[in-house]
Chains A and B, each alone.
Chain A
Amino acid sequence: MVFAGSIPLLFFLVLLMLLFQSRLALFTFGPWFFLSSAWNPVKSQYGALPFIYGTVVSSLLALLIAAPLGVGCAIYLSEVSTSRSKEWIATMVDLLAAIPSVVFGLWGIFVLGPVFGLSMMSAGVLLAIMILPTITAISREVLQAVPGTLRESARALGATKWETIRLSVLPPAASGIIGSIVLGLGRALGETMAVTMVIGNRPQISGSLLAPAYSLSAVLANEFAEASSDLNFSVMVEIGLILLIITVLVNGLARLLVWKMVSNSRIQ
């Protein structure tokens, strides 16, 4: 009990530490911190808006690419393919999850860089690749949890494969698939090194996806240890706090969606 209980304890210690260390910034700027886009540590101007914008937009971009691809791949693996090649595809997508993010970043600099520049677009594409295994693997697990009788009855009524999947497989799997996508979003929001290496690291809000941007995690990676004053340090911790709160909310929601789906079907 003591050891198991120490895990939630660590969880709350991390939260408390972030709150405590960021108190100076919280009291100094209040809610303006979220609305200001001025960033100049030398002049003590701090606004988190460009970073929040960069994190949210790059993650949504990743989702836009990875969600159809991942769910499509999961449908292929679970519903369509009967050949032995599917285990190969599943293994290769899974192995993608084992590649260190700094290696993704290196690949991104030299392969995506020449195409999109160091920009929001590069970050989005790279993040899409990184969250693809999460979406594919969990969607596949959820699809496999759908009882086979549902498929068989639709097929027996003369439905084509596409109609079977659309009418009797996807509806019961929907919440779990959405959960897997949200889980992927959580991954993308918190990813640090790969984003830092390709996003261009310029604190601006630009309408163009090909312009350099900055993210919450990237500014932490670059500037946290270089904080020059108490206020600067406290601002960096508050950025960490924002990042943590966003990812924990997104992750918590996703876990509930996936859990509900997978445990329900196992009872059936």
Chain B
Amino acid sequence: MENGQQQSYSIRKFKEKAFLALVFAAALLAVVPLISLLGFVVYKGIGALNLDFFLHTPVPVGEKGGGMANAIVGTLMIVGLGCLFSLPIGLLGGLWLAEWGKGKRGFLIRYTVDVMSGFPTIIFGMFAYVLFVLTMRRFSALAGGFALALVMLPYITKTTEEMVKMVPRTLKESALALGIPEWKVMLFVVLRTAWSGIFTGIMLAVARAAGETAPLLFTAFNNQYWNLQLDQPTASMTVQIYNYAISPFEEWNRMAWAGSLALVAIILAITLVVRKYSKRVVYG
């Protein structure tokens, strides 16, 4: 009897040990991909990442040198346009959800925002293609910016809503009690108080948009040369990396790794800084 109890206890202890070992192994295994990925990107990319990379445009296969300068500027341009399109709707939409979105309508909008953040981003590219590329009859930075705006919109809306909800009621009420019109209270008291939180959300959306490739493939397309015009095909770092990555030339593969290193460094820097200052998570 006593023996049996002891045995069952030791079995229970053993099960616990096995379970703890399993979840620990899962946690260890889960960090392997990031280490391997960062290791490869740094190891393979560092060699080709020189001053030329940041100052020159791409060169044909076989020629030495060349860089991604035009793609870096292009990414800035397209992401900037994305902000321009998505910020007004995202900020004011999030504000509305936080202040007046309690009923059924609020629920419906919140739900569509959530579901939209799970859309395959290539669908936004198709939408922008039909709206802009088919009507203008050419690829353009404008179309790319619009597609990225749709990628960013759900993130900005959600962050704004969360941050505005954290603004204390008393602040709003005292401003209203001073006789300030509601729209002014909203813009200059509520949004301003929540701004630092909203800003981190915007930065996360920017980091995500800068890493998107699929929505740009047939909107901004690509360009081997400098372009600063909004209605022309524009290079981006991600599409350039994609083209280099799937090419059979070793020279170009090296450029893909270098581009990846630069891109990952920028995106991780933004993400880490944002995480340091707020407890926001990045999975959306």
A138 to B283, CA, bound (A): 9
Interface contact A251-B118, CB-CB below 8 Å: yes
Interface contact A18-B246, CB-CB below 8 Å: no
Judge whether B126 is part of the interface by a CB distance below 8 angstroms.
yes
Interface contact A102-B241, CB-CB below 8 Å: yes
- Chain A contacts for B272, CB-based, 8 A: 95
Choose among B25, B94, B96, B112 the residue with the greatest number of A CB atoms under 10 Å from its CB: B112
Q: Which of A8-66 contact B (CB under 8 A)?
A: 8, 10-11, 13-14, 17-18, 21
A52 to B119, CA, bound (A): 17
Chain B 75-109 near chain A by CB (<8 Å), digits 1 or 0: 00000000000001100111011001100000011
What is the count of residue pairs linking A and B with beta-carbon distances less than 8 angstroms? 249
A6 CB to closest chain B CB, in angstroms? Answer: 6
Interface contact B30-A89, CB-CB below 8 Å: yes
Judge whether B68 is part of the interface by a CB distance below 8 angstroms.
no
A220 to B127, CA, bound (A): 13
Judge whether B170 is part of the interface by a CB distance below 8 angstroms.
no
A residues contacting the other copy or chain, number (CB 8 A): 84
Q: Identify the closest chain A residue to B153 (Cβ).
A: A7
Interface contact A189-B120, CB-CB below 8 Å: yes
A158 CB to closest chain B CB, in angstroms? Answer: 10
A97 to B119, CA, bound (A): 16
Interface contact B123-A73, CB-CB below 8 Å: no
A261 CB to closest chain B CB, in angstroms? Answer: 14
Choose among A100, A186, A237 the residue with the greatest number of B CB atoms under 10 Å from its CB: A100
A4-B93, A225-B218 known; A100-B238 Cβ under 8 A: yes
Q: Identify the closest chain A residue to B272 (Cβ).
A: A95
Q: Which of B241-261 contact A (CB under 8 A)?
A: 241-242, 245-246, 253, 256-257, 260
Residues of A in contact with B (beta carbons under 8 Å apart): 1, 3-8, 10-11, 13-14, 17-18, 21, 68-73, 75-77, 79-81, 86, 89, 91-107, 109-111, 129, 132-134, 136-138, 160-163, 165, 183, 186-187, 189-193, 197, 217, 220-221, 224-225, 237, 240, 243-244, 247-248, 251-252, 254-255
Given A8-B109, A193-B213, 20 new contacts (CB under 8 A): A4-B94, A7-B157, A10-B153, A14-B127, A18-B123, A18-B126, A73-B29, A92-B30, A93-B30, A93-B34, A96-B34, A96-B37, A100-B212, A102-B242, A106-B241, A160-B13, A163-B12, A192-B121, A221-B122, A251-B118
10 contacts across the A-B interface (CB closer than 8 A): A3-B96, A7-B113, A89-B30, A94-B281, A96-B34, A103-B37, A107-B40, A221-B214, A224-B129, A243-B122
